[in-house]
């Protein structure tokens, strides 16, 4: 379980708009699905190859109540917006399979 005092931030779930007139997926995340309270923890920065060079990405861990995440229908294909930053979801974990704590691994999109 996660203490209510740690849930300092509000995460907004953004989802792709769907398809365009030709049936192709649009790559803009403007549809707001819902919100939930969470804690944001910095994991560190890593270098990754990007295009023709190297880019630094910052990794974070978002902790929230499992039931809140499940109720909002969060998917790995969604984006999270927390405290003015936009995050790409890398994975969602159910801590110890107890349906109490959701740990969402994210990276900041710049």
pLDDT digit string, tens, across residues 21-55: 776 766 788 889 999 999 999 999 888 777 778 88
- Cross-strand bridge partners of residue 39: 63
Domains of the chain: 4-108 (2.40.10.270)
pTM: 0.84
Is residue 5 over pLDDT 80? Answer: no
Per-residue pLDDT tens for 62-100? Answer: 999 999 999 999 999 999 999 999 999 999 999 889 999
Burial class (CB in 10 A: 0-12, 13-18, 19+), 70: middle
In the chain, DSSP assigns E strands to 9-15, 31-50, 53-65, 79-82, 85-94, 101-108
Greater confidence (4 vs 6) lies with 6
Instruction: State both tokens at 40.
Output: 């944001």
With tokens 């910052």, the residue in question is 58
Percent above pLDDT 70 for the chain: 93
């Amino acid at each position: 379980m996660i203490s209510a005092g740690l849930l300092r931030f509000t995460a907004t779930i953004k989802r792709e708009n769907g398809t365009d007139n030709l049936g192709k997926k649009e790559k803009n995340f403007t549809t707001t699905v819902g919100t939930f309270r969470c804690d944001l923890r910095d994991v560190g920065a890593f270098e990754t190859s990007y295009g023709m060079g190297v880019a630094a990405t910052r990794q974070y861990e978002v902790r929230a109540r499992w039931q809140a995440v499940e109720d909002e229908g969060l998917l790995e294909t969604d984006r999270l917006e927390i405290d003015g930053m936009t995050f790409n979801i890398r994975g969602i974990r159910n801590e110890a399979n107890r349906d109490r704590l959701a740990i969402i691994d994210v990276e900041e999109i710049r």
